[in-house]
Amino acid sequence: MLCVMQALNFPIKSSKTLRASTRRKFLGYLWAPRWDTVTIDPARWHDLEASLRRVFDWTMAGTINAANIQKIAGLLVWVGRVIPGSTTFIRGLHRVLQLLKATSLPASQARSIVIYDHFLISEILHDITWWIDLCLHFNRSGCVPRGLRISEILTPRVFQSSDCAVVVNTDASEFGISGWWNGLGDSPGTRWLYCPLPPGITLSWSRDCRPGLSPDAVSVSSGYCEAAAVLGTLLTFLPIFAAENIVRPPGVGVWVWSDSSVVVDVWNFKSPSATMLPYLRAFSHLEALYNIRLHIRHIDGKLNTTADSISRTQWARFRSLQPSATLLPLPLPLGVRLYL
């Protein structure tokens, strides 16, 4: 076409010509209609990490002000548009900005307010640390999130368990934590995991149920151990799923059945206590790293039979429920034991 235009004495500057391409940059994002994805330029993660580290240093040095927070919050909102789970870790910055805007000072002076309040500093650091950890992973591994489906930007997809590529059940008992990878459709599940509670640890409600327990044993809330079961299951199964499905669409659904309403509320309402905050951070990280949509839903304990039998080491019951299950559990990642 360029040669034809030149022959007709209509020369066109090649450098200003838009050639055929499978990806285009628009509004700072990379759009790939062929694969129905929208994501961020991988090079931007290095710039984002550098900006976050400057804000972190200013916060630790006590020189962070409202203008710095507003700038980095805007940048994170821009990035978070294609990483839905990340929006939780922008809230703290917005809360700080709202408190600073409540002052009676003019806007120009309010932007220069230096943060000294320890509570506000903690809010900022919680957000910034989560984002720095995410940038570190992407920049070191060279693997960046594939973002959203273009079709989901205007109409977010509502998942059901039957729509998800991975469906797992988790449980925690006075003996340990368990995870069970359900089969899809008519195919039975075969993969499972089990991790005993460390010596000297028991659930708060089961002190009298665990024989031979020392009087000095530390009681841990059942919600904390149930969250450890979810995290352990995800840390174990997601790498296997990713390795078996290298080419997969962005935003694949992962469904977790848990009989703990505490864990369900932590994920669905994104407002955990200080004890459960590390779990929310970890769940959100896994959602971003594996480019999945994580759904944690409640199941009645009486229906959670397979995971329940594993966590309670009722092996005869487990084999009768799942005769096709593997003989041995999957090896546990180090992260599971660290949380326990």
User: 166-172 and 176-181 as β-strands: parallel, antiparallel, unpaired?
Assistant: antiparallel
pLDDT tens for each residue of the chain, 340 residues long: 878 888 888 878 877 777 777 888 888 888 888 888 888 888 888 899 999 999 999 988 888 888 889 999 999 999 988 887 788 899 889 988 888 777 767 767 777 888 778 888 888 998 899 999 988 888 887 777 777 888 887 777 888 888 898 999 999 988 889 999 987 655 678 899 998 887 766 666 544 555 555 555 667 778 888 999 999 999 999 999 989 888 888 888 999 999 999 999 999 888 778 788 888 888 998 988 888 899 999 999 889 999 999 999 999 999 999 998 999 998 887 766 666 6
Residues 6+ apart with CB under 8 A from 97: 66, 69, 70, 73
- The answer on 227 and 82 residing in a single domain is no
CA distance 49 to 53: 6
Give domain status of residue 271, yes or no.
Answer: yes
- The answer on 168 and 142 residing in a single domain is no
Give domain status of residue 208, yes or no.
Answer: yes
Q: Could you tell me the CATH number of the domain that includes residue 259?
A: 3.30.420.10
Render the burial of 286-295: b for 16+ CB within 10 Å, e for the rest.
Answer: bbbbbbbbbb
Q: Which domain holds residue 298?
A: 161-339
Give domain status of residue 104, yes or no.
Answer: yes
Number of domains in the chain: 2
**Encoded tokens for 26:** 């628009």
Domain C-terminal end among 154, 182, 199: 154
CA distance 85 to 288: 7
Helices (H), 23-176: 44-61, 66-80, 91-101, 107-110, 118-141, 151-154
Judge contact between 115 and 64, C-beta under 8 A: yes
3-state secondary structure 172-191: ECCCEEEEEECCCCCCCCCC
pTM of the model: 0.80
- The answer on 168 and 309 residing in a single domain is yes
Measured from the Cβ of residue 215, the count of other Cβ atoms closer than 10 Å reads 5
- The answer on 198 and 316 residing in a single domain is yes
